[in-house]
Structure 1
Amino acid sequence: MRGPHQERTRVGRDGRFELVEHVGSGGFGHVWRARDSVLAREVALKFLALDRLVGRRPNPERLAVVRDRFARESLIAAKVDSAFVARIYDCDIDGDEPFLVMEYVDGRPLSDYLGSRPLPLARTCRWSGQIAQGLAAAHDRSVVHRDIKPVNILVREADSDVRIVDFGLSRFIDATETHSQAGTPLYMSPERCRAEPGDERSDLYSLGCVMYEMVTGWPPFGDEHAEAFALARAHEEQLPMRPGQAAGVPAPLDDLIMALLAKEPRQRPDNARVVVRAIAEVERLLGDIGPEPSPEEGPADQAHRAGTGFADRLSAAELNVRHLTTQHGRDHHLVITARIELADLTGQSGDTRGAADLYDRIGRDCDDWYGPGNSLALDAFEGMARWVVARGTTRSQHTS
């Protein structure tokens, strides 16, 4: 893949880092997968676009100030120690361009998993809890991210755990005293929309926006095409539709997301560890794992007995689908069987809505691959109907 620095093969002191692949570019820089020749490990290099931060012809004194600030912010961010935060190993400079040396995360951004459909509740709770744990570790070190959004949350291929990336960059960008402000309007807290520095609770608001999108399929306000000014005004003045209005979202999860989206920082949860505990309570609400279902049990009965114990099994089932897809292709019968098993396991975990949605996707895919009315598609739509009925039964039992 071609990209910036394509004429170079090594960067850093004594050519320590061998550039392997240009991963992508953003508003304030670009990322390369690289090989650390000293420690013999794969890393990610994040180069910062100085022309966006200090202008195309900055004076030497200005450049020196920016480089020093970059080194200080990198040192602060490197102190964050969490299994759910991509580690920062070092910072260096290539010519006039500073770059971070970070843990390379082999995975995809959370944004790849989001769209018009909600995520299964078990996956939402698992990933949200991990993001909150990563934020808690950073906030314990007085490090605020300021730009929590789906593209800054990577999901590892190996275990489906998340890694938050780009800690420290937002404060550095804010401190350059340019007209640029770090943050993404779709996920930006009201105080950040007002160009205030914000604090740990600003990250919690952004987490609330991400969780809202996971359970509903869309952000709390607007979309990627909306004007930044209109989004800022919505964050400051409007209330989103409660996510609990989407069928299958438990009331405690609905309450937590709305608390995270409070306009005033003092009305949000006190800290990220409070959020971690609240998410764990939601997982427990879905039920503890029990014995294998008996033949007499229907989907509605199974939906009461699942919960946190299903997290590892769901993760393993998702990984199995990915591995089989890589080996055989999406339309192979082994992949379809694995997706059906994942759908049923999702329903048994208490997420009947997610199970119905997964079966619907299987049916639509089989329609596309094998033609309308084929037996695989009909079986999938029948499975969707079973879980739709189970969802209605479960809701009526909760309200009776």
Structure 2
Amino acid sequence: MWAATDAAGYPVALKLINTLAMEQADPSLQGHWRAHLEREIAFLSRLDSEQSRHIVTLFDHGQIDGRPVLVMEQLFANLGQWLAQKRQDGAPPLEFERILDWAGQILSGLEVIHNAGFVYRDLKFSNILVDQDGALLKLADFGSLKRHDGDITRSFIGTPATMAPEQVLPAATGSQGYEYAVGPRADYYALGLLLFTLLTDQPATAAQRRLGQLLAQHGQEGAAQRREELGELNDQERELLQRSIEFWTIPVSTQPGGGTATLLANLITRLLARDPDDRPGNAMEIRAVLDTMRAGQLTACSRAPKPVPITDEPDWDISPLTLPPHPRPRRSATINRSRYSRPTKTLIGILALAGALAWAIVLRPFDKSPSPAALESTTTAATQPPPNRPEPVTEALSVDDVLLPAPEPSSPA
């Protein structure tokens, strides 16, 4: 991604496809990226201004020197970069209301994708763009889109450390290779991972760390034979999640049935269910809980809850990492897109003014294998959690830091 300015002086982002990297990909996958790119362009081109509220806007697309390029709305950073920068700046922890608001914005973006007949398949911090104040979130990078009008896909696409088990583990082996049963509820699983991380400061669940280990050691077939070890929160994680939510809300002891803390903890537990059928069936079900939480009386606890250490996890020889704490953002102005109600045709003028790398915050890349759109992503810095929050489990792996062997050859989705 590159930051640029168009001929009228308006800031835009240029997404250039690394065709060289695509040519060096697995021979069985060569050419598939073009189909995914065309699908991404078609999806974004059909969105109106209301649908683009939480989906990045596509202004134009074309080719430069044989390389496909997309001219897109420019935001400040991705969410992982933004959180890392705020931590570097010493910002206070993110307000609980902001986490709920972010969850609602992400869910709105997923609704647009699902209503268009697609599954996102790659929801993670580096694919969520944010404005400078952290008030506006937009989903980006749609090279992993898959139609959900069929039950089976033959492509393995996304980031394994942030995927639902059914995205990584084949449901069957057909004549053309592995087959995966992936639907919209896979995106809800990824949403659950994001919320778990934001609320507990845990970069990953034990199940996701285990998934990365099984894939690295045994491949997809070997991991599929251990499905019962994947997905869901363990008892310690559920308790940590409950205590973390209680840090912001009315404690469980003061309300019958556990109160708002239990309501949200139960939602996230369901989002992270191993079986897709046990997850919420639609966005309305999830939004109902978020709205109830936001409408309820939210009061901070007088002191941080006692941390719940996880001591019975096997030693997988993984270096500990923690996610940055949550900054306290300010409100931001609404982005004006009126001048781009129709795509611009001035790619040459834009590229002539293209400058520095996008987002102004450059962090180390975490994913060495190209995505269908061949974009590099970034991960957040590892530091200690703030003293007023439940301490995270120290034996953890960054959700975007699992490097896996190349998947088995497969056919396009």
TM-score by length of 2: 0.54
Q: In the alignment, which of 264, 268, 272 is matched to residue 257 of structure 1?
A: 268
Residues 267 and 56 from structure 1, CA distance in 2 versus in 1: closer, same or farther, beyond 3 angstroms?
Answer: closer
Aligned residue-pair number? 263
Q: Deviations over 1:130-165 (max 9, x none)?
A: 111111122111232211011111221146221111
Does structure 2 conserve the Cα–Cα contact (< 8 Å) formed by 1:155 and 1:162?
Answer: yes
Residues 276 and 227 from structure 1, CA distance in 2 versus in 1: closer, same or farther, beyond 3 angstroms?
Answer: closer
Structure of larger gyration radius: 1
Equivalent residues in 2 for 1:8-27, closer than 5 Å: none
TM-score by length of 1: 0.55
| Cα distance in 2, alignment partners of residues 318 and 69 from structure 1 | 35
Cα drift, residue 112 of structure 1:
4.1
Report the AA paired with residue 239 of structure 1.
Answer: L
Does structure 1 conserve the Cα–Cα contact (< 8 Å) formed by 2:3 and 2:74?
Answer: yes
Report the AA paired with residue 270 of structure 1.
Answer: G
Cα drift, residue 198 of structure 1:
1.6
Please name the residue that 1:331 is paired with: none
Q: In the alignment, which of 122, 127, 130 is matched to residue 147 of structure 1?
A: 122
Please name the residue that 2:22 is paired with: 53
Cα drift, residue 89 of structure 1:
2.5
| Cα distance in 2, alignment partners of residues 268 and 356 from structure 1 | 33
| Cα distance in 1, alignment partners of residues 231 and 132 from structure 2 | 39
Does structure 1 conserve the Cα–Cα contact (< 8 Å) formed by 2:15 and 2:71?
Answer: yes
Q: In the alignment, which of 357, 363, 375 is matched to residue 388 of structure 2?
A: 357
Report the AA paired with residue 388 of structure 2.
Answer: D
Equivalent residues in 2 for 1:236-315, closer than 5 Å: 236=230, 239-240=233-234, 241-242=237-238, 243-246=241-244, 247-248=246-247, 250-287=261-298
| Cα distance in 1, alignment partners of residues 36 and 387 from structure 2 | 51
Report the AA paired with residue 236 of structure 1.
Answer: L
Q: Deviations over 1:260-284 (max 9, x none)?
A: 1011112111122322222111112
Partner of 1:86, secondary structure, is coil
Does structure 2 conserve the Cα–Cα contact (< 8 Å) formed by 1:118 and 1:215?
Answer: no
Please name the residue that 1:76 is paired with: 43
Residues 32 and 156 from structure 1, CA distance in 2 versus in 1: closer, same or farther, beyond 3 angstroms?
Answer: same
Equivalent residues in 2 for 1:1-400, closer than 5 Å: 31-37=1-7, 40-55=9-24, 67=34, 70-80=37-47, 81-110=51-80, 112-113=82-83, 119-158=94-133, 160-171=135-146, 181-195=156-170, 196=180, 198-221=182-205, 228-230=212-214, 236=230, 239-240=233-234, 241-242=237-238, 243-246=241-244, 247-248=246-247, 250-287=261-298, 318-319=329-330, 357=388
Residues 118 and 251 from structure 1, CA distance in 2 versus in 1: closer, same or farther, beyond 3 angstroms?
Answer: farther
Residues 106 and 183 from structure 1, CA distance in 2 versus in 1: closer, same or farther, beyond 3 angstroms?
Answer: same
Cα drift, residue 221 of structure 1:
2.1
Cα drift, residue 118 of structure 1:
7.5
Does structure 1 conserve the Cα–Cα contact (< 8 Å) formed by 2:156 and 2:167?
Answer: no
Cα drift, residue 46 of structure 1:
1.4
| Cα distance in 2, alignment partners of residues 357 and 299 from structure 1 | 10
Report the AA paired with residue 12 of structure 2.
Answer: V
| Cα distance in 2, alignment partners of residues 234 and 77 from structure 1 | 37
| Cα distance in 1, alignment partners of residues 43 and 102 from structure 2 | 25
Q: Deviations over 1:95-131 (max 9, x none)?
A: 232222221112442454279x984322211111111
Residues 285 and 166 from structure 1, CA distance in 2 versus in 1: closer, same or farther, beyond 3 angstroms?
Answer: same
CA RMSD of aligned residues (A): 4.1
| Cα distance in 2, alignment partners of residues 184 and 269 from structure 1 | 22
Partner of 1:82, secondary structure, is helix
Cα drift, residue 83 of structure 1:
1.2
Partner of 2:202, secondary structure, is coil
* Structure 2 unaligned blocks of 5 or more: 148-153, 171-179, 216-222, 250-260, 303-325, 332-384, 392-413
| Cα distance in 2, alignment partners of residues 152 and 68 from structure 1 | 20
With 234-243 and 247-256 compared, the bigger mean Cα shift is at 234-243
| Cα distance in 2, alignment partners of residues 132 and 210 from structure 1 | 12
Identical aligned residues as a percent: 26
* Structure 1 unaligned blocks of 5 or more: 1-30, 173-178, 289-297, 301-314, 321-353, 361-400
Does structure 2 conserve the Cα–Cα contact (< 8 Å) formed by 1:77 and 1:168?
Answer: no
Does structure 2 conserve the Cα–Cα contact (< 8 Å) formed by 1:77 and 1:143?
Answer: no
Q: Deviations over 1:187-206 (max 9, x none)?
A: 11011111526221111100
Report the AA paired with residue 244 of structure 1.
Answer: Q
Residues 317 and 171 from structure 1, CA distance in 2 versus in 1: closer, same or farther, beyond 3 angstroms?
Answer: closer
Does structure 2 conserve the Cα–Cα contact (< 8 Å) formed by 1:148 and 1:206?
Answer: yes
